[in-house]
Every structure is written in structure tokens, then in C-alpha cells.
Amino acid sequence: MRFRNSNIIICAFATIGGLVAVAPRATAQGCVVGRSCSGGPIGSSEYLMPHEFEWSLNYRGFKANKHYNGDIRQYQREINQNFVINRQNQWNATGTWGLNKQTSVYLDIPYVNNSWSIPMPIGPPAGMRWTQNSTGLGDISVGVNYWILKADTHPNGNLQVSFGVQLPTGSKDTKSNFPDKTGGNVSLKYNDVSIQPGTGTWAYPFSMEGFKVIRSWTAFSTFNYLITPGDTNNVPSLGTQLGFPVSAVAPSTGVNSVPDEFLFRIGVAHQIGKFKSLTGTLAWRDEGVPVHDLIGHNHGFRRAGYSHSIEPGLTYSRGDSQLTIDIPYTIRRDREPTNPDGTYVSGDATFADSQLIINFTQRYSR
């Protein structure tokens, strides 16, 4: 899913898409977070003039190793040393072209380098830790952005809507040498769904973002949603490959689901002291994977849930260039029961304590 980026930086939701993240999605566990990333404030400097071009390079990284079932932390996984370590590194290269003062088009290209590890056997006692690795191109997104109010007459507040298409360009079925649940029978197995570069299906990113200048402050908000009409991608879920039985009340979880993803941010931005080139931001961030998709069925294995974060950030501007650093700190985590086949099934998943989001943006005028 894509998060529009511009002078004040919003990174693309790419498989979202993924943001990033992000999409990290129980037998073997993984992590809940969208494949997408978004950071920085929003303001009138987002306006692109006709034929102006802007590109950005965004990085999002985190390590998720604390298990939650619902909102209850699973301390026994840490005591027994059989917790998952899920490392996510995602880069998004995004280009945006201004058609006129109201409309622009974008192209977002993600690249991921992820890993997922767990001891096998899980125990206790835990066996040797085994690691899966996945690197490659993610799902590319293209789309259009439109400002609702006239840009010429609304320098102090506006609302932008974006809609696009996410292509299944990333691999949904990368593999690593990995044992079964006994710690033996090592063979190439499909990697956990949370670290796959792609989803294996077409999807449709939608977003809204707005800003309002209030004296020396700028309030901003962003809402992103990845619509995935596809049901499953027919790749066997990791638990099935490890030899864990498929739940009798959720038989479809033998393959991976292709779930929707969401992100919501709201915050404020203010110049730091007398430094006109520095802007500080503070935002509230919600992101995750819903239990039920907006369109289509909910079959297959997914790790539904969400996290709430406090997100401080800093933006440095110089001419037509900007650099933004955001560090969301997680304050609440909830791994929700899923409902793939008509019966709710609980499970756990790992969540990150914090994330690092870095974005560089450069604008070129004609």
C-alpha cells in the first residue's frame, strides 16, 4: 500500500505493501504489522506544480521478538528461549509527477531484506535456532493523487485522496532450508508469510491525508488502506510445512491468506526554535492487519492484530531536499483471533518495541 511522499515526506505503502512495511503477519508465529510506512508531517509544500517531479527513498526497519496473544504478553516464550525473531528491512523508491496543481501520479518500487528465526524443536527445551531469509523486489504500486480543495486558494489546509493498483511483482513463495517441528528433516520450505517480498495477488491502495495550519503549528493526518480482493495465494503456511496439524475448525489455514492492511496517523508539527530548516513532529500511529477484509473472503492463515505507537520525528529541509527521521515507539499490541472458516481461532504473534523510518526526498522543478 502506498503512502504519498513529498516535501514533507510520506513513504509509500508498498507491499503493504508493505509497508514495511511492512507485511509481517499458531504454531510458528511471526509478526503483525503492515508492509507499509509513513512518516513526517503534511503541509502546503506537498503541492506539486504542473510537470514538477519528486522522488524519495524511504527505509523502514524493525525487530519483532516479543509474543502477544490478544494484548497479553507471552513471557513464557522469553523464559523458555523459544521466541521468534522477525527482522524487517524495507526500502521504497517512489517517483511522483505533477500533472496539474490538483493532480499527480506516482510509481512506488519496494525492495525487502527480511529474516525470520525460531528454535527447532520449539520445546521446552528449545533446540537450535534456525533462520529463514528472504530478499527481493516487492509489489510495485502505481496510482493517482488528487487534492479536494483548490490548491491556489487553500495554502493553509487541504485534503488529498489517492487510489492506485498494486501489481503482484514480488515473490510470494521464497524458500529457505529449514527443519520440521522435530528439528530434523531439513529441506527447502516456503518462508513464513511475514517475510515474503510479495503477496501474490493484485491489490488496491487507497489513502487520504490532510493538513491544517493553526498559527505556528501544522496539524496533519493520514489514513491508508490496502484492499486485497484475493482470498489466499495457495502457498502452504509455515506451520503446515513444519508438521503441525491444521485446525479442524479452520481447515483453510493450511495455505496463506492475503489480508488487507491499514495505517492511521494523526499529529502536529512545529518549527524547532530559530532553526527554520528543522521541524519537529509528534504523531499517534495505529497500524495492522484486520480480522475481516473489506472485500472478499477471509480464508487462509493470517496474523490479524494491531499496534498503537507514539511517533516522534524530525525533518531537516534545505532547498528542494528534505530528510526525515521517525521512530515510532509501540505502547499497545493486540494479536486478534482470526475467523477464516466461520469459527474464531486465537494465536500469538511477535511485535516490535520500536521502528526506524528514514526518508529522503528531492524535488525537481521544470
| Phi-psi region at 148: left, alpha or beta (left = phi > 0; alpha = psi -120 to 50) | alpha
* 3-class SS of residue 172: coil
**10 vs 16: CA distance, rounded Å:** 14
| CB-based burial label for 105 (10 Å; 0-12, 13-18, 19+) | middle
Confidence class for position 38, pLDDT limits 50, 70, 90 = low
DSSP β-bridge partners for residue 309: 285, 330
> Which pLDDT tens digit goes with each residue over 310-351?
999 999 999 999 999 999 999 999 999 999 999 999 999 999
> Which pLDDT tens digit goes with each residue over 233-257?
999 999 999 999 999 999 999 999 9
Q: Contact 327/313 with Cβ under 8 angstroms?
A: yes
The number of beta carbons lying within 10 Å of the beta carbon of residue 95 is: 15
* 3-class SS of residue 126: coil
Mean model confidence pLDDT for the chain: 90
Q: Are strands 321-326 and 349-352 parallel, antiparallel or unpaired?
A: unpaired
> Which pLDDT tens digit goes with each residue over 128-163?
999 999 999 999 999 999 999 999 999 999 999 999
Query: Residue 224's pLDDT is what?
Result: 97
Q: Which domains does the chain have, with CATH numbers?
A: 44-115+132-172+190-364 (2.40.160.40)
In which residue are the cell numbers 527447502 written? 188
DSSP state of 301: B
285 — phi, psi (to 5°)?
-130, 125
* 3-class SS of residue 124: coil
**218 vs 281: CA distance, rounded Å:** 9
Query: Residue 45's pLDDT is what?
Result: 64
